[in-house]
Structure 1
Amino acid sequence: MMNPHTLSLRALLFLGLWHTGRRSFASAPGLQDPPKKIAVVGAGIGGTATAYYLRQEFGPGVKIDVFEPGSVGGRLATVQMGDYEYETGGSVIHPLNLHMKQFIEKLGIPPRKDVPSKMAIFDGRELTFEESDWFIINFIRLLWRYGFSFLRMQMWVESILDKFMRIYQYQQYGYSFTSVERLLHAMGGDEFLTLMNQTLEETMRSEGFSQVFINEIVAPITRVNYGQSVRIDAFVGAVSLAGADSGLWAVDGGNKKVCSGLLYHSKSELIPARVTSISVKVRPSKTGPTSTFYELNYADESGSAHALYDIVIIAAPLHQGKSDITFSGFSPPIPSHYPGRYHQTVSTLVHGTLNMSYLGTSEPASEFTVSDIFTTDSKDSVINSLSSIDPVHIPSGYKRPPASQAKVWKVFSPQPLSQEQLKDMFLSWDSVSETRWLAYPSYRPPHRKTPPFILHDRMYYLSAVEWAASAMEMSAISARNVALLAHHRWHHQVGKINQEDLHTRLRGEL
């Protein structure tokens, strides 16, 4: 549970982030001229947040181009079904995600209206737990089967979140880090690095949690959030468990609206093209020494083109199946694909009527008001989750229908659903929308060294952070870090990079 001191510290952190903003380093005395052109490759939450923070850091004079061959928003996406739009990508935001909170305040976008929800656990044959409308009944059921494990899990996650929250203080004061490992170490010391090198299952067993609790409660949470088992590493596992907290929220009209809003506020130019290659170009300078630029070659519907930039930020994963950018002229060479693979999750939206017998229950569909069905990691579980979802904009007077009526369900599964599987799950349906996501890395400890934030002198890799944990807020944190890093290195401000013991040094400054 949160103690009053922690609550007040978090409130102060948020107020500090909100009111302080970034000082305009670009106009400070003694700094060299700002860059003329910056390229950002990718317009998901990471790329658009980077453009937003780069504008804060470098001021109004720099031209920022954002390259995106697809839709702005990346893995934040919606689909139209009937009269409404529904979220098919990243759908929930944690109440302590301070950057995302600040974004919607800045953009003037309200959070989506909350619709009360209930959850159940499904083992592939039957429902092993179904949440009641009554808190005391849920509490007694969980206490009877798992003791105080739920409370202890919440306290364990809270202890990790308390350290995680330090990053907001460091970034408020302008500190940045050159690698994911250094950033994590600044937040949680050796503990966070240790968490990345052992499985969630191993860590929770060592913390005294029973295998039954891990199998029946923890595994369903990791399956719905990352499509993977409790054998993911413990750091991303803790992030996943935080995603099961109360108070989760979403953006009215769809989370992708944050991306388009950040892009607009960054005053960047969106170039709807795919970057194919990046090379180093050395040009003579009028003042004497040569200057280094990055040439981006890109292709759109009308053909191919190229342009030179002072700074490049890559906000798209450099992994097999995710991008095919080639790098030439770099020493040491930069790979087109880093080791590791992205995990497939298929998001299938079905407007139809649920088959209650699929869940192995005799409960009448008219009385079944569960909205989120999580699954255990068993051979009978062919899906990761099944959720009744609401439109991205909740109309006035909206009430979620019971399972006896046709409504939109979202199914997460590792593979596309066959017609036979759909027939098992639904009595009938009138529309289906399938999206295949390479949504997040496949997390398997021991942790291999993450790709660097710095690919070359003035070229940066934002998506390296996903190998710690993939989440909207992680991308926003990485965006702020990379923008700070690019600014400090451009102006040779080494005192703001990779500083140790920041928590101790800044403790008295809030």
Structure 2
Amino acid sequence: MEQRIIAIVFCFLLLQFSPTHSNTVCIIGSGIGGASVAHFLRQYSAAYHPSPSPIAQINMFERKGVVGGRMATVTIAGETFEAGASILHPKNYHAVNYTKYLDLQLKKPKSSDDSLSLGLWDGHKFVYKTFNSKSKLPIVQRLVSLANSIMMFLRYGFSLFRMSSFVEVAVNNFLRYYEGFNSRPVFESVEEMLKWAGLYDLTTQTLGEELVKAGLSPLLIQELVTVITRINYGQSVNISGFAGAVSLAGSGGGLWSIEGGNWQMAAGLINRSDVLLHLHEEIESVSYLGDVYVLNSTQGKSYNCGVTVVATPLDELNIDFNPRISIPPRKLQHTHATFVRGLLNPAYFGLNSLSDIPDLVGTKESHDVPCSSISILKKHENDMTYKVFSRETMTDALLDNVFSTRKETIKINWAAYPHYHAPEKFAPFILDNQHLYYVNAFENAASTMETSAVAAENIARLILSRLSQGVGLSSLDLKRVGRDPSELHTEL
């Protein structure tokens, strides 16, 4: 009886497998990484191998009911705000290109944001506060901004310029990933990718160690730098140097987002890439059977794929891989985002008036501090909408101490990014030496929307290159796919 069942299953599998499966790509995850893989697979294969395409079908699986992954919005007080990945750098060229390609509207910071006040809180008092003005006159705002720049220089000195130089070097090295294919190879490992751009060494030491080496003062590292890393990565200056440089770059000027939500980049790329999207369908097992991957879902369905791409962190998922895969153990840093419509309690901060509380409260690394930051998202007529970042959930009792009034509260627990620890160890891009790929291996270097897109672009090239070499498809000359870097920065 047992042999008969095995024979029936074997015949069923034979009937299911066909040559077309080698041209089917299955992507697990619909965030910016998965959406970017689909986009670049279509772009590169269509441009240089239009008929027949080496990629026939792309299946994408999303366990939730919406696409976007860690890009999501929340609605509070009738308005929509970014709840996850929220800011983009002006030199995030893939994101810039996506925005133009999809005809999305940019949302830039208001000019008044330059005069927003900042306070560094140690759990008992503000150790540093900038000036603020209620005046909306541009000249007053410029004067306040100038006064704050002078005050910051008096406190931190030339270390500010050394910090800027440190970030600039890292950003310029990162820009190499936008070069044309004639000068940029396909990378089979994260280490190789980082070493080529001169970024690998930054992952072997902590940010604190790198900044001491760069000549920054201990005061700047303990205060301003720590505040920035706590806001952007929920961690201290003990994160690795490259992740720290990315975090510091995310505190600069010219930052932007997408009007209506950054998740629209993922949604638009998926729509434009002729993807068969499976929402509410979680993949629970991936089995390689010699020439095809069989993906089984929680819906009781099976899918046959020639190529499988994991575009979601594996660290807290329970996907059963057969044969088993091996990746370095990694913890994810959970960030609790709490959105509150109400008013802060000045007494909690040792102040007498609400107006004395800075617009952005950054915090030092201390056990006495229950949150990483508190920022004003919107000022209403009688109250405000705030966003609070913390490493642990903010209990209602704690929130009632921090806020004098709360009309509406929304709490979100994000498995946001890796918990960085230098020297970093990286999972492989290719998980099984065949066609099982892992976009999020790059996250141990740095985790942003743009780094996900950069890693995804390399994965797409890697897939096409290896398919052409190992599956008998006509060769794709990926060396000639790239354009001049200046063209890449302006259009797709």
Q: TM (normalized to structure 2)?
A: 0.84
- Indicate the residue corresponding to 1:371 in structure 2: 359
Secondary structure of 1:460's aligned partner = strand
Alignment of 1:251-400 (within 5 A): 251-272=258-279, 273-282=281-290, 292-300=291-299, 304-319=300-315, 321=316, 323-328=317-322, 330=323, 333-335=324-326, 338-362=328-352, 364-366=353-355, 370-390=358-378, 400=379
- Indicate the residue corresponding to 1:17 in structure 2: none
User: Residues of 2 paired with 1:83 and 1:382: CA distance?
Assistant: 28
Q: String of CA shifts for 1:396-444, please: whole Å, max 9, x gaps.
A: xxxx448xx3221111111111122101211111111111111111101
Change (3 A) 1:172 1:99: farther
The structural deviation recorded for 1:388 is 1.1
Change (3 A) 1:113 1:243: closer
Alignment of 1:200-219 (within 5 A): 200-219=207-226
| Paired amino acid for 1:299 | T
CA contact (8 A) 2:109 2:255 kept: no
Q: String of CA shifts for 1:363-399, please: whole Å, max 9, x gaps.
A: x43575x432211112221100111114xxxxxxxxx
- Indicate the residue corresponding to 1:39 in structure 2: 26
Secondary structure of 2:453's aligned partner = helix
| Paired amino acid for 1:308 | N
CA contact (8 A) 2:21 2:292 kept: no
Q: String of CA shifts for 1:259-302, please: whole Å, max 9, x gaps.
A: 111110111011121011111124xxxxxxxxx111111123xx
Secondary structure of 2:148's aligned partner = helix
Which of 51, 60, 85 is residue 66 of structure 1 equivalent to? 60
The structural deviation recorded for 1:171 is 5.4
1:95 is the counterpart of 2:90: yes
- Indicate the residue corresponding to 1:151 in structure 2: 161
- Indicate the residue corresponding to 1:484 in structure 2: 461
- Indicate the residue corresponding to 2:120 in structure 1: 121
The structural deviation recorded for 1:480 is 0.4
1:81 is the counterpart of 2:86: no
- Indicate the residue corresponding to 2:7 in structure 1: none
Change (3 A) 1:175 1:87: same
Change (3 A) 1:373 1:296: same
User: Residues of 2 paired with 1:67 and 1:145: CA distance?
Assistant: 51
1:231 is the counterpart of 2:231: no
CA contact (8 A) 2:108 2:255 kept: no
The structural deviation recorded for 1:35 is 4.8
| Paired amino acid for 2:325 | I
Secondary structure of 1:455's aligned partner = coil
Alignment of 1:169-248 (within 5 A): 169-170=179-180, 175-188=185-198, 192-248=199-255
User: Residues of 2 paired with 1:366 and 1:373: CA distance?
Assistant: 13
Deviates more, 1:417-426 or 1:164-173: 164-173
RMSD: 2.6
| Paired amino acid for 1:455 | L
Alignment of 1:430-449 (within 5 A): 430-448=407-425
Provide structure 2 residue ranges, at least 5 long, that are not aligned to the other structure: 1-18, 132-140, 470-474
Q: TM (normalized to structure 1)?
A: 0.81
Secondary structure of 1:278's aligned partner = strand
User: Residues of 2 paired with 1:170 and 1:380: CA distance?
Assistant: 50
Which of 23, 35, 46 is residue 48 of structure 1 equivalent to? 35
The structural deviation recorded for 1:361 is 2.9
User: Residues of 2 paired with 1:334 and 1:89: CA distance?
Assistant: 29
| Paired amino acid for 2:284 | T
CA contact (8 A) 1:441 1:466 kept: yes
- Indicate the residue corresponding to 1:469 in structure 2: 446
| Paired amino acid for 1:69 | R
User: Residues of 2 paired with 1:453 and 1:348: CA distance?
Assistant: 34
CA contact (8 A) 1:451 1:464 kept: yes
CA contact (8 A) 1:371 1:389 kept: no
The structural deviation recorded for 1:338 is 4.2
Change (3 A) 1:427 1:124: same
User: Residues of 1 paired with 2:40 and 2:351: CA distance?
Assistant: 51
The structural deviation recorded for 1:173 is 6.3
- Indicate the residue corresponding to 1:287 in structure 2: none
Secondary structure of 2:284's aligned partner = strand
The structural deviation recorded for 1:33 is 9.9
Deviates more, 1:423-432 or 1:166-175: 166-175
Which of 108, 126, 142 is residue 152 of structure 2 equivalent to? 142
CA contact (8 A) 1:345 1:415 kept: yes
Which of 431, 444, 463 is residue 455 of structure 1 equivalent to? 431
Change (3 A) 1:247 1:113: closer
CA contact (8 A) 1:171 1:480 kept: no
Give the number of aligned pairs: 437
The structural deviation recorded for 1:127 is 2.2
